Each structure stands twice: as structure tokens, then as C-alpha cells.
Copies of this chain bind each other. A is one copy, B any other.
Amino acid sequence: MGAVTLSQVAQAAGVSLATASRVLNGSARTPGAGVAERVRDAAQALGYVANAQAQALARSSSGLLGLIVHDIADPYFSSIARGVQRVAQAEGRTLLLAGTDGGPAEERAALEVFASRRADAVVLAGSRQESPDNAALRREAERYLRNDGRLVLLGHALTDDASVLEIPHERLAGELADALIDDGARSFHLVGGPEGLLTSDQRLRGFRGALAARGLSEASLRRAAFGRDGGFAAGAALVPVLRESRQRGEWPVVFAANDRMAMGVAAALREQGLHAPSDYGLAGFDDIDTLRDFQPGLSTVHLPLEGIGAAAARVALGGEAEPVRGQVILRESTRRV
């Protein structure tokens, strides 16, 4: 009851295995027209579907592209995934997906799985973070690279040999800070992910750097989980601080290191009767899709997430890296009334 094999097709067409293979599965040599047609007809009639596993084994190239993300349900990653998937499909590759919830240990495991599938290339999309497990991940990456795998990291390097699609978190965060200052903001509260999470750290560093360059510094810095709930927690803790700031006649601006945190902050503050932009300013980072219907419109740094995914996939498939461009976008949430 198993699937139809090439040799069955060959037999039905009255040709050899080799000929059938050449006709059906693309080869340098193209058999004569008559033979080719017979083979194709037989394949059609039998409902032949080539066994990609066997092809991969024989060709020693699997046509597989792996994607490792923290959480596919997070709009940040799902947008990137969409880009990767689009390119993979266009290039005739099959996409393998793994979710790791951010742990380097899980990332290592996922990479090993992909390596065992002999994926031609892997895109590792999660933010790096400091962890004792990183050494193991790095070793796994090096082994994968040594076995002719291509590995593309998003944003941060892992080993010298893997390609990196650079994302200018730091610079863009600086530009955001500049834009806010130009807009008149003077009092800043920062909300970031846990220390050691590179994406978050770079954004905070860029923001603070820009403040310092203008002779300013942040009024407070809070760290929490790098997602909506972390933002909520940080926001709740910010309530009294912002209230005091208001009483001093200031208009405090909260910069959260990503949009999800910013949304959490907004939710927490809203619960306490504080609203942006009237009571405080709020800015995020990423410009995830979700923002489109978020009120008030959130000032942020736009990152072309789907394009980033696509670019990463192209690099993984042997293409050239193109620089990632982000852009500061000021919306209502920082429009002081």
C-alpha cells in the first residue's frame, strides 16, 4: 500500500530506472521525446510522487530551510516567518519551523534537529542572550557549519563563521530618542527586557547614548520580561513615578524596548487612569502589525520585519546580504497635547 516508486513507473513505461529518473526529476541529460512522454504518462497514471528523502540522500542536498524563532505566535516573529516562508516557497525549498521560547538550550536542540535533517540552511531568528548554554549552542552552530550547513543569524553574531543580518538596533534607538527630544520631550523613563538580552540592551544603549549626547539622562530604567506582560508589570510600577513627574509639571515619556512591552505599559497605566499622550508619552520599537489597530497610535521604530525575514532567507540560500533599514515613526502616543 506504500507510495508508488520510480521503479514501478519505469517498469510501467518499459524503461530503466535511470531513464525514468532523468525524465522526471530533472537531470542534465534529457532523454528522447518519445521515451520521455511514455515515462511521464506512466507517472501520471500511477500517481507517482518522488520521495524527497531518497532524493536528498542520493543528491546529498535536502532542499530544506530551517527557521528557529522564540515564539511563532509573537507578531514580531510571525512577520519574519512570513518573509522567510515566502522566499523559501519561491525558491522551491521546504520550510522547517522550530519554536524555542527563547532558551539557548532549546535553540541548540532545534539546530541539532535541523542538522540531522541535513537542512541546507538555517535562519536563527531569536535574540541572543547571555547564558551558560550559549557555549553549547555555539558548538552546535560550528558543527553545523563544518558540515557545510549555512547559518544566518538575525541581529547578533554567534560565531565568526555564521552570516549575520545586522539590524541597527542601537542606531535606530538613538534616532528615536533624538526625534523625541526634538519634539520637546525631556523626561525619559526606560523599560527594557532582562539584562543580557542583546536586542533589548542594544536598544537601551542606543537610546541612552542619544540622551547623553544631548546632555540628558533617563529618569528611571526598569527591566522585566521582554513581552507584553513584562511591559505591564513595568507599567504598573511606573504609576507613582509618572504621577510625581506630572506634578512637577513635566511630561514624562516612556520608551519601551519593543512594541509589545509598550502595549503592556499602556495597558497598566490605562488601568490607573493614565493615558497617552495626555498624561505621558509612549514609544516602542519594531512597528509590529498589531500596532495598526492600537490606540493611541504608537510612536516606534519601524523595522521591515517581513523583509528582514526574506532577506535572511535569501542570504541563507546563498544570496547577498542587503542592509536592513529601519525608520523612526512618530505617532499620536508622543504627540504632546
Contact = CB atoms under 8 A, between A and B. Distances in A.
Interface of A: 1-4, 47, 49-54, 56-57, 60, 62, 67, 71-75, 78-79, 81-82, 85-86, 89, 94-99, 112-118, 143, 146-148, 228, 263-264, 266-267, 289-290, 292-295, 306
B53 A57 contact: yes
B73 A78 contact: yes
Nearest to A139: B47
Contact of A85 (B52, B72, B293): B72
A2 B148 contact: yes
Contact of A52 (B49, B78, B116, B267): B116
A89 B105 CA distance: 14
Contacts of A81: 72-73, 78, 97
A85 B57 CA distance: 26
A57 B54 contact: yes
Given A97-B97, A148-B2, A293-B290, A52 B118 contact: yes
A143 B49 CA distance: 10
Contacts of A116: 49-52
B112 A49 contact: yes
Contact of A293 (B47, B50, B72, B294): B294
A109 to B, nearest CB: 9
Contact of A95 (B75, B97, B290, B306): B97
A66 to B, nearest CB: 9
A54 B3 CA distance: 17
Contact of A266 (B4, B82, B97, B293): B293
9 contacts: A1-B146, A3-B118, A51-B118, A85-B97, A85-B99, A86-B99, A94-B114, A96-B97, A228-B292
